[in-house]
Amino acid sequence: MSAPREQFGSRIGFILAAAGSAVGIGNMVGFPVAATKNGGGAFLLIYAIFVLMVCLPVMLAEMSVGRRTKKDPFGAYKTLAPNEPHWAVSGWLAVLTPFMIGIFYTVITVWLLGYLVKIIAGDLTLLAQPETFGSFINSTDIFIYMALVAGIVFLILQGGVREGIEKAAKILMPSLFIMLLALVVFVLTLDNAFAGVQYYLIPDFSKITGAVVNAALSQAFFSLSLGMGILITYGSYLGNNNPIPSSAKLVALTDTSVAFVAGLMVLPAIFSFNPNTNTADLSDSSIGLIFSFLPKIFLALQASIGYTGASAVAAIFFLLVFFAAITSLVSIIEVPNAAIMDSTGLSRKKSLGFLGLILGTLTILASTSFGMFDWTTSFTSYAGQSKSVFDVIIDVFYETILPLNGLLICIFVIYRWKKANLNKELETGDDNYKGSIFERYVNFSVGTFIPVILFLVFVNTVALKYFGYNFIG
Ligand code: PFF
């Protein structure tokens, strides 16, 4: 007999852990800037509609498959569709995807820690110089920070579901909320802050194009940690008395609120630095914004609050994003870890050790993609662009396979596992769900238009990324 499966200890613990996974690097800067550039309030509205109408049902599908089978994604597909190789492939993809995304996310988390340490050491002026980022990510220092990040993540995961993942979320998430609110309050007192708020919130529907709608959906899908096997895995640690529908709603609400509130921190800061900012010129990538742009803004605060004050604000910001990254990283690495434990029977410790070895090697390789090694930097090329190992991981797994995984889970739950089983699982522990309009909506949407939308996103991404062909302008 194997040991009984680990479980989250409380409903709030599960919600915080899942929200910890969802609230990530993208929430803090990527989302607010994408919103401002793409129509402000108009983007926010479309985003909210996608969260509610598309992402929430997919979230329910993932969690229910996990809780029903009490298995990692690979085991879950195999349990519900035994001896069906095509579904086994879906299970594989749902484990391989987080494994690969974990690599690039670790690289960024390592940089965050490096910046945090340097700010605390008094190096904010240095970080605000344009050439610092490039030289930092190519220095051997990053391997020290990498060892630290690996140590923190593995320490949390080694504690198990209740004493590790849940406990960490219960500490890190409330700290994150407090730091975020403190920064918002501070930033709103700066000169010109409200110009930023205006840009962020005032809707401009003329900016809404097919590409913007696609971007809003992709952002919502990533942000809620869908398509990465995470919510199947976390669902597998849920007891039957834990109501999935209402917990999922709270997770979606928390993630969206944090992204929204982050906008009230970032946009006012940008506008108070330069009231004539043209948001169209801001970088599209969270990486460029966090590591190259924001340090300049923080440094400029020294005019009003002194160097120590400016460094303190910068340190709080980097600590906040670091916490967001750690809870996401923990969730994504738990997926392959659960898959190894479930399929080999290895102990948590051994499984983590084994995973650490392969993940560590691949992460080191990925982190040399920025000029340290030529072959990882110019790894391949497609659609007329040279791509590094890091770029390929982002393109293939983050951009392309996520919507495919979402599409597969939708088809799986409705047409293979069957609607009645899905409903039964979602009704278990949630008396209000049975017969509700929401239940009918989930049944209809997951079986019809959600997979169609995800298929279109997938095809569009493939055409654009690998063939340079733009369908929607
Ligand atoms: N919701 C997470 C985020 O917005 O950053 C998605 C995520 C990405 C989770 C990568 C975990 C991860 F490693």
Residues 66-94 pLDDT 10s:
999 999 999 999 999 999 999 999 999 99
Residue of 365, 403, 393, 396 whose CA lies nearest to 104? 393
pLDDT at residue 212 above 80? yes
| The three-state (H, E, C) secondary structure of 449-460, written as one string | HHHHHHHHHHHH
**What does the mean pLDDT of the chain come to?**
95
Tens digit of each residue's pLDDT (9 = 90 or more) over 47-62: 999 999 999 999 999 9
Burial tier of 378 (Cβ tally within 10 Å: 0-12, 13-18, 19+)? middle
Ligand 1 environment, Cβ below 6 A: 21-22, 24-27, 101-102, 105, 222-223, 225, 328-329, 331-332
* Paired residues of 382 in beta bridges: 385
% of the chain with per-residue pLDDT over 70: 99
Protein residue closest via CA to atom 6 of ligand 1: 225
**Token code pair at residue 269:** 């800061």
pLDDT tier at 345, thresholds 50, 70, 90: very high
Q: Return d(Cα 121, Cα 462) in angstroms, integer.
A: 44
Nearest atom, ligand 1, residue 255 CA: 1
CA distances from 19 to 159, 270, 320, 363 (A): 19, 27, 14, 25
Q: Return d(Cα 204, Cα 208) in angstroms, integer.
A: 8
184 C-alpha to center of ligand 1: Å?
23
Residue of 236, 255, 237, 235 whose CA lies nearest to 245? 235
CATH topology of domain 11-467: Amino acid/polyamine transporter I (1.20.1740)
At residue 34, what is the residue type?
Answer: A
pLDDT at residue 1 above 60? no
Nearest atom, ligand 1, residue 106 CA: 13
CA distance between the termini of the chain: 57
Q: Which helix (H) or strand (E) holds 386?
A: strand 385-387
Best of 21, 218, 234, 337 for a ligand 1 pocket test (most atoms within 8 Å of beta carbon): 21
DSSP string covering 19-72: HHHHS-HIIIIIHHHHHHHTTTHHHHHHHHHHIIIIIHHHHHHHHHHHHHHTS-
At residue 149, what is the residue type?
Answer: V
21 C-alpha to center of ligand 1: Å?
6
Give residue 473's pLDDT: 61
Residue ranges covered by each domain of the chain: 11-467
101 C-alpha to center of ligand 1: Å?
8
Instruction: For residues 268-291, give the mean pLDDT.
Output: 89
Protein residue closest via CA to atom 11 of ligand 1: 328
Q: Tell me the torsion sign for CA atoms 269, 274, 279, 285.
A: negative
pTM for this entry: 0.95
Q: Which helix (H) or strand (E) holds 217?
A: helix 210-223
Instruction: For residues 332-357, give the mean pLDDT.
Output: 97
Q: What are phi and psi of 370, to 5 degrees?
A: -115, 25
Q: Which residues 6+ apart lie within 8 Å of 2 measured at CB?
A: 345
Contact status, residue 269 vs residue 295, Cβ threshold 8 Å: no
pLDDT tier at 470, thresholds 50, 70, 90: confident
Best of 112, 219, 222 for a ligand 1 pocket test (most atoms within 8 Å of beta carbon): 222
Q: Return d(Cα 400, Cα 398) in angstroms, integer.
A: 6
**Token code pair at residue 394:** 């982002």
Give residue 2's pLDDT: 61
